[in-house]
Amino acid sequence: MTEQAQAPDAPPPAGAPGAGSAVPGAVLAEEHRLRKDLGFWGLTAIGFSNIVGSGWLFAALYAAQTAGPAALISWIAAGALCALVALVMVELGATRPEGGGTVRWPLYASGRVVGTVVGWSVLLSVGGTAAEIAAIMQYAAHYVPGLYDGGSITASGLAVAAALSLLLTVLNWFAVRLFARMNNLVSLLKVAIPVITVVALLLSGTHGGRLTDHGGFAPYGYAACLSALASGGIVYSVNGFQAPLDFSGEARNPRRTVPAAVLTGIGLAVAMYLGLQFAFLFTVPDSLLGHGWHGVNFDSPFGQLALVLNLHWLATLLYADAVLSPGGSAYVGVAIDARHTYALAKNRLLPRYFMRIDPRHGMPHRALVLNLAVIVVFMLPFGGWQDIVSVMGDMYLLVYAASAVAAAAFRAHDRARGLPRTEGQVPGVRWMAPVSYVVASEFIYWSGWDDLRLALPMVLAGVPLYLVLRYGDRRRAGGREEVSGGRPPLEELRRGAWLVVHLVALTLLSWLGTFGGSGRLPAPYDSVVVGAVALGVFAWAVRSGAAHLRTSPPPAG
């Protein structure tokens, strides 16, 4: 069978990345060039470093502005969601390890419509790396004011950001073992400096009653805790735990090391973020709280707070770390983005040209170059860190939801075929998958109409993109339907319609609801309706995915 006539969305058997005749030989050839050099600590450091970036420098302020002391609840909720979703995604990474797996699994489980829309969202989420670089510019403006002004990066700041993006790309150019060693060192520093910050702030003197004064524990209502998840940057800050999964194709023993690395990274990061939020809440001077938590405003929160508290040595350390922490996350982000782009090329969302793995270094060099261009372009239309991360949080949540569907669809398909339980399956995923799908949908809704009216139409642009790509596939195949395993476009659209319906429903409910919408659908009924719709769509998606898997070309015998 030629590569032209093979379906890109046929699932590999569990435990064998891409194995089977349904996966083009060119894909397997490139996949086998990835180096299996990562162990538990290397994977844990990748996950932790990807989580702890610019979020620790900003999120405590924005969360407090949005929800007051009740932001502590938001951090716990975000950690619980990530742990829940992580266990679902861990099963996928352990049973189907593959480079850029978070892009590949929705394609395997739900077909090309879902694969294209999710892949498009992942391509847009390259903006997360742009957010890290924007954070560096924002803190660096303390020393070089011309880099950041009026809430946005200046022209000179953009030039410096582009040069930094180029440097990070060059550092990712070589073998993954070098990448892992450099990241291990950066991760140690990224743990030490936030811990020093928490201890130093609390020792400088705390203010009692902070959880009850200035409007009470939830001065803006408990609904603000939900809004803080996205608009406060909390989801963005905790996101990144899935990084070890994207490196599962390069792990020495993915079934053992990937699950432990993912959960360890989440636990360490959430504990650190809670400590930082406590320190911020209890050390902001009373003089800055005359207008409540809404009135607290810093361009560089912890750095300026340290100066207010006369901790000049800490301020110096923080402004230096404002380059290190976001820079470390951007360093990991560039590596992950390259693997996503590599996977998108395998999915045919991008030309196969970008799938090439350099045989000497085992790295997707062409994907690195493409992402460099995307990162620089993405910094142009957004003003600052919060503007970028409010939209990025919704992109990440969509990937979580699609992964939950993929895990449930694979299990439903295996049960229908009478297959035994495979090594790497996580106990409880059967109920965790629908719960994580519903919670991710609620988090998307709670981010508010102001964010969703931009984010969801951007995601839905993946549908016309699918049609364009499908037309191109048919032309290359001489008008035959062989590229998608004989399935006509209408059947593909029908099987992927659940995702389109869900996104349209979320957009409509956001406009009707109370999170920045018109309020025609009052609280708490708006969230109840979102949960009911999400649960119904999840059941539809799993049935559709199981049907898709039944008709996908079987692996070679």
Max Cα-Cα span within the chain: 74
pLDDT of residue 520: 92
DSSP state string for 354-398: GGPPPTTT-S-HHHHHHHHHHHHHHTTT--SHHHHHHHHHHHHHH
Q: Is the peptide bond before 524 cis (omega within 30 degrees of 0)?
A: yes
480 has a pLDDT exceeding 80 = no
309 has a pLDDT exceeding 60 = yes
Q: Mean pLDDT, to the nearest integer, of 540-546?
A: 93
Share of residues in the chain with pLDDT > 90 (%): 13
Helix (H, G, I), strand (E, B) or coil at 461: coil
pLDDT of residue 386: 59
**Residue 2: is it exposed, middle or buried by C-beta count within 10 angstroms (0-12/13-18/19+)?**
exposed
**Residue 35: is it exposed, middle or buried by C-beta count within 10 angstroms (0-12/13-18/19+)?**
middle
User: Using 50, 70 and 90 to split pLDDT, how confident is the model at 92?
Assistant: confident
- What's the CA gap between 181 and 368, in Å, rounded? 19
Q: Mean pLDDT, to the nearest integer, of 54-59?
A: 79
Per-residue pLDDT tens over the stretch 404-443: 999 999 999 888 887 777 666 777 888 899 998 998 898 8
User: Using 50, 70 and 90 to split pLDDT, how confident is the model at 511?
Assistant: very high
DSSP state string for 23-57: S-HHHHHHHTTS---B-HHHHHHHHHHHHSSTHHH
Contacts of 266 (CB under 8 A, 6+ apart): 47, 51, 79, 82, 83, 86, 238, 241
pLDDT of residue 17: 44
Closest by CA position to 314, among listed 207, 232, 192: 192
The answer to whether 68 and 217 are in contact (CB under 8 A) is yes
150 has a pLDDT exceeding 70 = no
The answer to whether 408 and 433 are in contact (CB under 8 A) is yes
Residue in the block written with tokens 């009850």: 212
- Token pair of 533, please? 């719709």
Residue in the block written with tokens 């699609």: 402
Q: Which residues pair with 153 in a beta bridge?
A: 148
- What's the CA gap between 317 and 338, in Å, rounded? 31
Q: Mean pLDDT, to the nearest integer, of 211-227?
A: 82
3-state percent helix, strand, coil for the chain, nearest multiple of 5 = 70, 0, 30
Closest by CA position to 8, among listed 473, 348, 249, 339: 348
DSSP state string for 531-552: HHHHHHHHHHHHHHHHHHHHHS
φ, ψ dihedrals at 99, nearest 5°: -60, 130
What is the rounded (10 degree) CA torsion for 302, 304, 306, 307?
170
Q: Which has more pLDDT, 259 or 309?
A: 309
Per-residue pLDDT tens over the stretch 324-347: 767 776 777 787 777 777 777 777
User: Using 50, 70 and 90 to split pLDDT, how confident is the model at 90?
Assistant: confident
482 has a pLDDT exceeding 50 = no
Q: Mean pLDDT, to the nearest integer, of 252-265?
A: 80
Q: Is 434 left (phi over 0), alpha (psi -120 to 50) or beta?
A: alpha
The answer to whether 283 and 70 are in contact (CB under 8 A) is no
Q: How far is CA 114 from the centre of its chain?
A: 17
Q: Mean pLDDT, to the nearest integer, of 91-119?
A: 81
- What's the CA gap between 464 and 39, in Å, rounded? 41
pLDDT of residue 35: 54
The mean pLDDT of the chain is: 78
544 has a pLDDT exceeding 80 = yes
